[in-house]
Amino acid sequence: LVLDDAKSLNHKLGKLDRSKLDEYMQSVRTVEKQIERVTKRQADINKLKLQPPVKSWQAMTREEFIQVMGDLMILALRTDLTRVSTITDLRQVCALARRFGFELLIEGAEEAWIDPSVIARTGASVVLTPRARRNADENRNQSSGSSIENARILHEHGIPVAIRPSGTAIALWGLAGRDLGHLPMEAAFAVRGGLSEAAAIEAITIEPARILGVADRIGSIEVGKDADFIVTDGDLLSYLTHVRWSVINGKVQYDKMEEGLLDHIRPGGDETPEPPDDHWPRRLGDPL
C-alpha cells in the first residue's frame, strides 16, 4: 500500500469511512476463511461430480483470490488516501495495517519522530524529505511538528528509510543544474540531524531499491548488478561536489569536462584551483 499525494488521512477517512473500510475488510476475511475451509475439504470435493465453474473468478485459487481482492482494496484506498504527516494519522494508518496486514510504504511522516515505535511495529518503510517543514501546533500540549532528527530517529528504530527531494523537476532559476544537487542535499540535511553519512547514502541508493524490490539489480555497486553509477570530485553529500562522470549500463553518458557548462569549475578536481583564463557564464561588465 503506497500512501502518496498531499492531504491527511484524518481528513480523508472520517469515522463513517473507517467503519465502511472495517466492514469491507471483515468481509474479505470471511471469504478468506471460507476459501480455507473449502481448500481443506478439496479431496472430498474432488470426489463429487460438479459442473465446471461458469465464471473464471470461481476457479481462482486462494492465492489468486487474495491477490485480486488486495489489488481492489489498494485501488479503493489510493483513490482518496494520501500522504501521512501527523502522528495522529500515522497511528491510525498503522493500526489499520496491523489489523488487516497491509504492507505500508509511507511518504511524508514529518511527525514520525514523536512515536517511531508505532511504525516499527507495523514493519512499514518510510520515504522522507528531511528539509520538509511542518510547524508545531501551538494549541496542543504535546510534541508536534517536524524535526531535523526524524531520519536518525527512524533509522535507530530499525525502520527502512528512503530519502527523496520535495520535487522531481529541475528549476531554471539561478544556475541551471544546481537543482541536481537536491537529492544529496536532502541526505546531507539528514546527516545534520544525526543520521550517519553511510546510512544517508544508503537512503538515496540501496534502500529505495530494496523498497521497490529491485535491489538485486540496482542500488549498489556489486558484481552482477547494472553498471549505473556516478563518479564525483569530492564528498557525495557536500554542496561543493560536482559529478565528473555518469555511467549508465557500463557506458559513460556524462563527462563534466566535455559538457561545457561546468567544466571551468575545478577542472582538476582541486578545491582551490587557479582561476581559468575564460569563464562562463560571464560576469557583469566582462568583455564579450
What ranges do the domains of the chain cover?
2-47+62-226, 227-288
Cα–Cα distance between 110 and 130 in angstroms, integer?
A: 8
Cα–Cα distance between 16 and 14 in angstroms, integer?
A: 5
Mean pLDDT of 195-201: 96
Q: What angle do CA 108, 114, 188 make, to 5 degrees?
A: 55
Q: Beta partners for 126?
A: 106, 161
Cα–Cα distance between 270 and 72 in angstroms, integer?
A: 56
Mean pLDDT of 242-266: 88
Per mean pLDDT, which range of 16-30, 58-72, 103-117, 226-240 is the poorest?
A: 58-72
- From the list 95, 92, 89, the residue with the least C-alpha distance to 109 is 89
Which phi and psi angles does 80 have, rounded to 5°? -125, -20
Contacts of 29 (CB under 8 A, 6+ apart): 100
Under the banding of pLDDT at 50, 70 and 90, the label for residue 203 is: very high
Percent of the chain surpassing pLDDT 90: 31
C-alpha cell at 278: 575564460
C-beta atoms surrounding 129 within 10 Å: 22
Q: Is the pLDDT of residue 272 over 60?
A: yes
Tell me if 162 sits within 8 A of 126, measured CB to CB. Answer: yes
Residue 281: its pLDDT value, please? 58
Residue 194: its pLDDT value, please? 95
Residue 102: its pLDDT value, please? 74
C-alpha cell at 87: 502522528
Answer with the residue of higher pLDDT: 18 or 127. Answer: 127
Instruction: Provide the residue type at 113 as one letter.
Output: W
Per mean pLDDT, which range of 112-116, 123-127, 198-202, 269-273 is the poorest?
A: 269-273
Residue 57: its pLDDT value, please? 45
Mean pLDDT of 188-205: 95
Answer with the residue of higher pLDDT: 153 or 241. Answer: 153
Tell me if 120 sits within 8 A of 157, measured CB to CB. Answer: yes
Contacts of 262 (CB under 8 A, 6+ apart): 177, 242, 256
Under the banding of pLDDT at 50, 70 and 90, the label for residue 8 is: very low
Q: Helices (DSSP H) in the chain: which residue ranges?
A: 9-12, 15-40, 42-47, 62-80, 87-100, 116-122, 150-156, 182-192, 197-202, 206-212, 256-259
Prior bond to 160 cis, omega within 30? no
Which phi and psi angles does 118 have, rounded to 5°? -65, -35
Mean of the per-residue pLDDT values for the chain? Answer: 76
